[in-house]
Structure 1
Amino acid sequence: MNGETHNFSQLNEQAKQVAVKNFTTFYVHLYRTKNLEIISDKVDNAILWDIDRRLYRDKFELTDEIIADSYKYSYKEYEKVLVSLGQKYFSNGNPEINWDEWYNKQYNAVGAGL
């Protein structure tokens, strides 16, 4: 893998699937810990509501099942989220920086509260 990175929309279909799968796992964990403020500040909330509605319906399933269902049924919404977040990806679909690190950078960039 070379060091060249791409926007989500520049990835081929297989790489997009990898990117969406990785992000779905990250997003479901954020959802389950009620920690979506950073994401919701950067993405149209109507898109997130569509994803979250399905996650809420599946809330009593095992985490792996929720991730698989969310990936399957909310794929198009996740694509929109990834375009909005502006993360860079390698040609295989892996993010330039892992999602936890990305989140921490975004969190640390928020100014101090009142």
Structure 2
Amino acid sequence: MGEKLYSFDELNDQAQVTSIKDFSRFYVKCYRGNNMELLSQVSDQSMLWQINEEAYRNKYEALEHAAKDTITYCNHSYKKLLSQLDMKYLANGSSECPWEEWYDKKYQSIPDGI
């Protein structure tokens, strides 16, 4: 049997830091690739606006630098967003699967013609 999985809100503070750090790189890649359709399906868009604004300010920076800056200025927004996404985590904050795999599964589940 595998390890127990947790929702973002069930993680301790250090595990949340780990999950935000991992997710921020994925988020900035999606933002830079104009590939925000699935991430923007959350009910409260306000946190996306804040993260996107910071990602835009860092559009010419390296991915790692941009991701780090979005965490510095948008940590609360990342917490709100990750609370709404349906990813599960290990106790250390690592996501159940890579974010790219999560995205691909979500994308493949969209019915044709939409």
Q: Aligning the two structures, in what range does the TM-score lie when normalised by the shorter sequence? A: over 0.9
Residue number in structure 2 paired with 1:74? 74
Q: Return 5+ residue gaps in structure 2 as ranges.
A: none
- What per-residue deviation string (whole Å, max 9, x for no partner) do you get for residues 22-47 of structure 1? 00011011111010000101352221
Residue number in structure 1 paired with 2:89? 89
Residue number in structure 1 paired with 2:98? 98
Distance 1:43-1:99 versus aligned 2 partners, 3 A rule: farther
- What per-residue deviation string (whole Å, max 9, x for no partner) do you get for residues 52-95 of structure 1? 01111121222221111111111110011100002110000001
Alignment partner of 1:47 is 2:14? no
CA-based RMSD of the aligned residues comes to: 1.3
Of stretches 39-48 and 80-89 in structure 1, the one that deviates more from structure 2 is 39-48
Distance 2:52 2:67 in 1: 12
What amino acid does structure 1 have at the position aligned with 2:60? F
TM-score normalised to structure 1 length: 0.93
Residue number in structure 1 paired with 2:60? 60
TM-score normalised to structure 2 length: 0.93
Percent identity, aligned pairs only, is 36
Aligned structure 1 segments of 4 or more residues deviating by more than 3 angstroms: none
Q: Return 5+ residue gaps in structure 1 as ranges.
A: none
Paired residues in the alignment total 113
Of stretches 63-72 and 42-51 in structure 1, the one that deviates more from structure 2 is 42-51
